[in-house]
């Protein structure tokens, strides 16, 4: 277990779970939590034993977004201001090289939707509620917009963000904001299903796959893009991991990275 103040880290055999831990504040993100999340993501990125990361919330809610008191503070140094830390956090989550799973429940608002949108898989408790509440406060969902719009598309983002109304799980599923729903037991079972698959995949290949998708997404279909993908494939193909994977396939055995 970690000694962070506003997050708690639990290590599994091949996974790490980051718990947002300000339950008395509905896990609202402040400068302490944002800084700790950035720190632990960097640590987990370098930890070769960790193949996947899960983000969850302590208490009755996943996260109520950014702490409004923090957003209004002017006494903090620039590197701890919300306008500096939140973009860094969402960028770090978006480009995190390992599979990232968000397991959400209760209330999910504002900046919490940015964390969700960065995850590769979002598992929601069936009674969860989501809301882009910014316009009701005279604000706009500026910092989360790059990742949310990338995930759900321009016009669904217009509808959700302009209305600022409560979104239930079926609506979130239909929009692509959520990938899987269920009871607490269903959520745990689906998480285990994902983790078991990730534990059997080649770790470097998964990292290169995420890099490929992030780079290719939104690019024009043209020769230089295919040149890039061909170079990347050639680099990966020549690596020890790919050679082991192809050799194991030919020899009809499990590759060395396959976890039991």
**Domain-terminating residue out of 198, 213, 233:** 198
The whole-angstrom separation of Cα 47 and Cα 7 is 18
> Does 258 reside within a domain?
no
Residues 151 and 96 reside in one and the same domain: yes
Predicted confidence (pLDDT) per residue in 86-122, tens digit = 999 999 999 999 999 999 999 999 999 999 999 999 9
> Does 96 reside within a domain?
yes
Residues 244 and 182 reside in one and the same domain: no
Domains: count for the chain: 2
**Residue-level pLDDT at 74:** 85
> Does 2 reside within a domain?
no
Residues 236 and 144 reside in one and the same domain: no
Mean pLDDT (the chain) is 95
Q: Name the residue with tokens 């290719």.
A: 216
Residues 209 and 166 reside in one and the same domain: no
**Residue-level pLDDT at 117:** 97
Residues 172 and 220 reside in one and the same domain: no
Residues 127 and 146 reside in one and the same domain: yes
- Comparing CA positions, the residue from 98, 97, 129 lying closest to residue 112 is 129
> Does 259 reside within a domain?
no
**Domain-terminating residue out of 183, 198, 213:** 198
Residues 100 and 206 reside in one and the same domain: no
> Does 217 reside within a domain?
yes
At residue 258 the predicted structure's pLDDT band, cuts being 50, 70 and 90, is confident
Predicted confidence (pLDDT) per residue in 169-205, tens digit = 999 999 999 999 999 999 999 999 999 999 999 999 9
Residues 118 and 228 reside in one and the same domain: no
- Comparing CA positions, the residue from 203, 13, 202 lying closest to residue 97 is 203
Read out DSSP for 175-227? HTS-SEEE-HHHHHHHHHHHHHHHHHS-HHHHHHHHHHHHHHTT---SHHHHH
Full residue range of the structural domain in which residue 230 is found: 202-250
At residue 3 the predicted structure's pLDDT band, cuts being 50, 70 and 90, is confident
Predicted confidence (pLDDT) per residue in 204-213, tens digit = 999 999 999 9
Mean pLDDT within 134-163: 96
- What 3-state DSSP class applies to 127? coil
The whole-angstrom separation of Cα 27 and Cα 13 is 26
pTM for this entry: 0.94
Mean pLDDT within 241-247: 95
**Residue-level pLDDT at 260:** 56
């Amino acid at each position: 277990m970690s000694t962070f103040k506003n997050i708690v880290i639990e290590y599994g055999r091949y996974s790490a779970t980051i718990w947002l831990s300000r339950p008395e504040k509905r896990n609202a993100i402040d400068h302490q939590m944002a800084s700790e999340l950035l720190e632990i993501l960097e640590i987990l990125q370098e930890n070769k034993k960790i193949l996947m990361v899960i983000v969850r919330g302590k208490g009755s809610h996943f996260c109520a977004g950014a702490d409004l008191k923090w957003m209004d503070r002017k006494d903090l140094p620039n590197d701890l201001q919300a306008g500096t830390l939140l973009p860094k956090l969402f960028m770090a989550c978006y480009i995190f090289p390992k599979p990232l799973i968000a397991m959400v429940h209760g209330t999910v608002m504002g900046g919490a939707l940015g964390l969700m949108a960065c995850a590769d898989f979002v598992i929601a408790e069936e009674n969860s509620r989501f809301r882009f509440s910014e316009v009701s406060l005279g604000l706009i969902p500026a910092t989360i917009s790059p990742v949310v719009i990338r995930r759900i598309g321009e016009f669904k983002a217009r509808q959700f963000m302009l209305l600022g109304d409560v979104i239930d799980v079926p609506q979130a599923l239909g929009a692509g904001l959520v990938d899987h729903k269920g009871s607490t037991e269903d959520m745990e079972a689906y998480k285990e299903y994902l983790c078991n698959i990730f534990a059997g995949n080649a770790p470097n290949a998964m990292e290169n796959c995420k890099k490929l998708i992030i780079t290719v997404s939104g690019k024009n279909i043209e020769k230089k893009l295919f040149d890039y993908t061909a170079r990347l494939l050639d680099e990966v193909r020549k690596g020890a991991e790919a050679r082991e994977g192809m050799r194991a396939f030919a020899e009809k055995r499990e590759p060395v990275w396959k976890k039991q």
